[in-house]
Amino acid sequence: MDIPSISGRRRTIRRSGFEDAFEAEPSLRRFLEGRQLGFDADPHETVGAYLTKWLKAMEFLLKPTTYTRYRTYVLCELIPVFGKLRLEELAHDHIAAYAHEQLESGRGRQAVYHCLATLSSALGTAVRTHRLPFNAAQPLPMRRPRADERVPWSAEQAVTFLAHCRDVDPAFADLFEVIIGTGLRKGEALGLQRQCVRIDDRVMYIRHTLSAIDNHELVLTAPKTKKSRNWVPLSERVAAALQRAMARSTSTDNDHVFQGTDGKPLHPAAVRRRFHELRKQAGLPHVTIHDLRHLAATLALEGNVSMAVISKTLRHSTLSTTANIYSHLTWEVAMAAVHTIEARLCLVEARARGVDVLALSRPAPNPLFSHAA
């Protein structure tokens, strides 16, 4: 059949391989319906061809870091495995077999899950645009792996780390002081601009996050979620650290608060390496820089700050996100909770027995004073 092109010339589309006209007719009808709805319903389109087109369409819709991750999964994982199959032939058993094979070979569950989730996203787009009648990757043939329970440093360990950094590398000490004191994500701290910091008002505004594309090109992108783009209050410690950092960042080439000795923004990978160097020097257990964000939340929980306030401070998208991440709480907070329950039950039982509740609440007599009497 002939179809129009952008140049105005007609171009011919030929598809063969059908046994007879009855078999070719449904494919022709499907192809014409697809053109009316705005998608290509080529009956011979392969999974590889579709994923390549989908990836190109996503390039300007996704954050650069997300697009890079999708590109890796599509080009290095999905196309080599499923690329030669016709799109309509891709079935759930193909995807399930791939998942089982990968897991049985010792591949990490997180890596396999992310590959499958990328495929599901691509096929979901095909369903929404009426290219496919259903998503063959749904339901996924494996559950989402649970994240490892994070065990952040204690307040004492955080103080030890910051003290060591001030002695060895004051510039990085200020960076980690800001992350621990506010719960910023690493990219948000590295992407912080001077004009977004108002020391006198004790507030800063999160407007960017610094990311490395392919671990090389540095780009400023939007924060992780809509609620991440918000204001963050500053304590005296954090305000002082930001003042020192801005005093050092004298380069006029950029407005980053945290800069390297060359005046350029700090590379996330370099910050990660330096963090672990300083951590090992201080003799502290392994944590990630992101765990410093969890440390900030844990310190607030131990100070009896409500979960709702912590959620606002960390700028989570929902309160349930905060509750799920920190459902384990800490030992001190959990013990305080069960002791409060115990005290309340004992008080009600005492009232039921007619015991003098006020007497129970009075402090016990000091034996030193009784002997003196």
Answer yes or no: is pLDDT of 189 > 50: yes
CA-to-CA distance for 348 and 214, rounded, in angstroms? 62
> According to DSSP H, which parts of the chain are helical?
21-37, 47-58, 64-73, 79-82, 92-104, 109-128, 155-168, 170-182, 186-190, 236-248, 268-281, 289-302, 307-314, 319-325, 331-352, 357-361, 367-372
Side-by-side strand order, sheet with 231-233:
197-198, 203-205, 231-233
Residue 212's contacts (CB-CB under 8 Å, 6 or more residues apart) are 218, 219, 267, 268, 269
pLDDT for res 11: 75
**Residue 373: its pLDDT value, please?**
40
So what's the pLDDT on residue 369? 43
* Nearest Cα to Cα of residue 198 among 233, 149, 174, 165: 233
Average pLDDT over every residue of 274-284? 96
| 155-177 mean pLDDT | 95
Residue that has been written with the tokens 């000490």 in this structure: 173
Tens digits of residue pLDDT in 92-121:
999 999 999 999 999 999 999 999 999 999
The phi, psi pair for 3, rounded to 5°, reads -130, 150
Predicted confidence (pLDDT) at residue 313 exceeds the cutoff of 90? no
* pTM across the whole model: 0.70
Query: 269 and 187 in contact (C-beta within 8 Å)?
Result: no
| Cβ-proximal residues to 5 (8 Å cutoff; 6+ apart), any chain | 11
CA angle 296, 302, 303 (to 5 degrees): 90
**Res. 368: pLDDT tops 50:** no
